[in-house]
A = this chain, B = another copy of it.
Amino acid sequence: MGEVHAGLADVARRAGVSPATASRVLSGTGPASTASRAAVLTAAEELGYRPHPVARQLARRSGTRVVFVVRDERTDILRDPFVTRATAAMAAVLNPYQIGMSLSRVGLECAAELDHLAADRGVAAVVLAGHDRELLAHLPPRLRGRTAVIGLGGTDISAGSADVSHRNGAGTDVSCGNGVGGADVDSASGIGGLITHLYALGRRRIALVAGPSWLAASAPPVRVYAELTRAAGLPVRIVRGDFTSVRGRAAARVILRRWPDTDAVATVSDATAMGVVQALAATGIKVPDDVAVTGFDDVPLAGALYPALSTATHPVEEIAVAAVKSALGESPQVRLFPSIPMIRETCGGGGACGGSASTA
């Protein structure tokens, strides 16, 4: 009880068995008779035995940290709310595994970095955000089986061999063809819901500020937007953004110049939506009276903005947790989470969540 640190050998000795048996019992692997099992367990208990994580990881060759790799052109992407929330969630859920979390940004050309990671024997698993199809196809072999992606980018996450089936409900399990698991929101349904709502409110000239084209996850929103818009016989108006408010402002100006009669702007990022609102306000255009605006993600303060931001809300923490577990080889390989529209003030008209600041 006052001992510095009981080791496996101490436990074995006290239990009257060999270190090997003690190891088998305590690590839960391998056979052991009920008798020796009990002896080892009580001995460990009495000695207050705590396995040395590092020694165990070395012997097991299992690595000590999960690396969250964010692929983006922006160097400040690591301050992005989505990234920080996801990182924190993973760092918290990995606690019982005695595994740590690393965060690292890579540029669009990141083959070298990924190879480097694959060669690092301290890396237990990798969670990758911001991928495209090609990247996954050329994933270093050493990373296969211990990598998960966030942002699936449509139904095929593995450049061809995917098989995403169900997408109903929260955290639906989905099958996937290759060694790369992942997690994401059903962005198509979220964006679809917002656009449908805008349409129901009478908006007929809806523009979309999409994500960057190099990003796989940018595809589904664009596809859904285009489908809905064409089906309604409305004009398709797409501008590319990059999840920042700066690009949101620029996008708004482009939209106003090219299609002055636009009466709604849907975006794929709350920050972008805020940029759009700012730019519109600067031009004297009223939100939502003249132009409705929607965001995406529902960042913590989105509902406290003025006007309160209509957006789609996502369980970022759950997504992150699902991704690490998938990367560690647990649970389903691919999970899809719901993207639920939050109708607030920037949509105009009546919504589920009414606002109180429309008293102009």
Q: Which of A55, A104, A119, A245 has the largest number of chain B CB atoms within 10 A?
A: A55
Query: For A53, what are the chain B residues with a Cβ–Cβ distance below 8 Å?
Result: 64, 120-122
Q: Please tell me if A79 contacts chain B, counting CB pairs below 8 Å.
A: yes
Task: State whether A95 touches B104 (Cβ < 8 A).
Answer: yes
Query: For A100, what are the chain B residues with a Cβ–Cβ distance below 8 Å?
Result: 64-66, 94, 99-102
Task: State whether A121 touches B54 (Cβ < 8 A).
Answer: yes
Task: State whether B54 touches A64 (Cβ < 8 A).
Answer: yes
Task: State whether A88 touches B84 (Cβ < 8 A).
Answer: yes
**Contact indicator per residue, chain A 96-120, by CB within 8 Å of chain B (1) or not (0):** 0011111111000000000000011
- A83 to B98 Cα, complex, angstroms: 20
**Contact indicator per residue, chain A 119-140, by CB within 8 Å of chain B (1) or not (0):** 1111000000000000000000
Query: Contact residue range for chain A?
Result: 35 or more
Q: Which of B54, B58, B87, B282 has a CB less than 8 Å from the CB of A88?
A: B87
Task: State whether B98 touches A101 (Cβ < 8 A).
Answer: no
Q: Please tell me if A360 contacts chain B, counting CB pairs below 8 Å.
A: yes
Q: Please tell me if A31 contacts chain B, counting CB pairs below 8 Å.
A: no
Q: Please tell me if A156 contacts chain B, counting CB pairs below 8 Å.
A: no
Q: Which of B81, B87, B122, B301 has a CB less than 8 Å from the CB of A98?
A: B122
Q: Which of A57, A102, A120, A245 has the largest number of chain B CB atoms within 10 A?
A: A102
Q: Please tell me if A306 contacts chain B, counting CB pairs below 8 Å.
A: yes
Q: Which of B54, B58, B120 has a CB less than 8 Å from the CB of A50?
A: B120
- A121 to B5 Cα, complex, angstroms: 10
Query: For A63, what are the chain B residues with a Cβ–Cβ distance below 8 Å?
Result: 54
Query: For A122, what are the chain B residues with a Cβ–Cβ distance below 8 Å?
Result: 52-54, 64, 98
Q: Please tell me if A317 contacts chain B, counting CB pairs below 8 Å.
A: yes
Q: Which of A339-360 contact B (CB under 8 A)?
A: 356-357, 360
Q: Please tell me if A38 contacts chain B, counting CB pairs below 8 Å.
A: no
Q: How far is the CB of A350 from chain B (nearest CB, A)?
A: 20
Q: How far is the CB of A112 from chain B (nearest CB, A)?
A: 13
> A119's closest neighbor in chain B, by CB?
B50
Task: State whether A79 touches B85 (Cβ < 8 A).
Answer: yes
22 A-B contacts (beta carbon < 8 Å): A5-B119, A50-B119, A52-B121, A54-B54, A54-B63, A54-B122, A78-B89, A81-B84, A84-B85, A87-B91, A91-B101, A94-B100, A95-B102, A98-B122, A100-B101, A100-B102, A101-B101, A278-B304, A281-B356, A282-B356, A304-B305, A305-B305
Q: A65-B99, A79-B300, A92-B105 are in contact. List 4 more A-B contacts (CB 8 A).
A: A54-B58, A78-B92, A91-B102, A100-B101
* Top 3 A-B residue pairs of the complex, sorted by shortest distance between their CB atoms: A100-B100, A306-B306, A65-B100
